[in-house]
Amino acid sequence: MELHVRYEGDDDPDKCSARKLARFDLADLHRSPRATPAGIVLDPHADRALSPTDADGGAATDRLIALDCSWETAEAEAFRLDGPHRSLPFLVAANPVNYGTPFQLTTVEAFAGALCILGHRDHAETVLSKFRWGHTFLELNDEPLRRYADCTDSTDVLDVQDDYLEA
């Protein structure tokens, strides 16, 4: 699965997980929305949750697209990218800045979570291996990621998410 990043460049370049993925040729950075190819857009403002069925939607679903920007500028209009928009369900950050905070994922954590849900756990392990804390993301989220990957559709994913939010 190809990983593409619409790169805003408004965060600390030394802590930018998208730039690090690009340095290792694990993701392609795009500075303009027009240059960003169509794919499954990881969008926290999306109405539907990502589910394993999203991998069955045709050619554009062999790509994951993330927007890399500061959390302060991550407004809905910034996500105007081509492709089906999907939100990630409840996952906890493992990165040093937001450790233990739900939904405050770095770009690599968002990619890894999506890859696991779509059935590409080995690919998720590969991208996370470039970060000292990468394995911690999979350890913290092991159970929910496995449960999300076993879901049949977005509704099931939301039911699993509700189990974690109610606990």
Q: Which residues are annotated as a binding site?
A: 17, 67, 88, 107
Binding residues for S-adenosyl-L-methionine: 17, 67, 88, 107
Rg, the chain, Cα only: 14
DSSP codes, 86-143: EB--S-B--STTTTT-BT---HHHHHHHHHHHTT-HHHHHHHHTTSTTHHHHHHHTHH
